[in-house]
Chains A and B, each alone.
Chain A
Amino acid sequence: EVQLVESGGGLVQPGRSLRLSCAASGFTFDDYAMHWVRQAPGKGLEWVSGISWNSGSIGYADSVKGRFTISRDNAKNSLYLQMNSLRAEDTALYYCAKGGAYDWGKGAFDIWGQGTMVTVSS
């Protein structure tokens, strides 16, 4: 069964850091780009970041550039999101999503995890 399982969310104070993880199974992880997408409570979807199959190409939304870092470990079939200098507006459910073959700029997000909630508050 193709599956993505996120973890690492929680309550964190403004200015602090958090690292999210996404464990993939059921498909050849290193053949595909991967993404993080977030959804603030009651709001729409926002693309956060994408990474190519071999980590050679990475993209970030302007809202997180310079604060968040995406990475992957193909040997562990895992995707990560290091979030620094967190702000209240980063509060959201963070989804991991499987992208198209190889390149993060191409292809549909055809598999999604159930998400992990990040709450930034003092």
Chain B
Amino acid sequence: SYELTQPPSVSVSPGQTARITCSGDALPKQYAYWYQQKPGQAPVLVIYKDSERPSGIPERFSGSSSGTTVTLTISGVQAEDEADYYCQSADSSGHWVFGGGTKLTVL
């Protein structure tokens, strides 16, 4: 079955840049989406179609794509950005798949 691979954890100090990667064979052909989930809360969409930012999401959140890897970048990380982040894309049959999630720790 298709898998999206994320690092389990990323740690950064406030004000630094956090980069969270997501790898999958179908990513060159399928859009990727990113969700933020804080403890006890529902996921929130932060990036869609690889690099588009929904209204209301701070400009410090950005997305990029290169080959089989997509990257969520958070510039000038703030304490409130500490959360789990999940990438999402579709497999060859169009079924949705989520990455395993990355826990972002703000030191």
- Using a CB–CB distance below 8 Å, which chain A residues touch chain B? 35, 37, 44-47, 50, 59, 61-62, 95, 105, 107-110, 112-115
Contacts and interface: CB of A to CB of B under 8 A. Distances in A.
- The contact size tier of chain B is 20 to 34
Contacts of B37: 45
Contact of B42 (A35, A44, A46, A95): A95
Contacts of A114: 42
20 contacts: A37-B43, A44-B99, A45-B35, A45-B88, A46-B98, A47-B96, A47-B98, A50-B96, A59-B95, A108-B45, A108-B48, A108-B49, A109-B33, A109-B43, A110-B48, A112-B42, A112-B43, A112-B44, A114-B42, A115-B42
B70 to A, nearest CB: 14
Interface on chain A toward B: helix, strand, loop, or mixed SS? loop
Interface string B73-96: 000000000001010101000111
A47 B51 CA distance: 22
B7 to A, nearest CB: 13
A35 B96 contact: yes
Interface on chain B toward A: helix, strand, loop, or mixed SS? strand
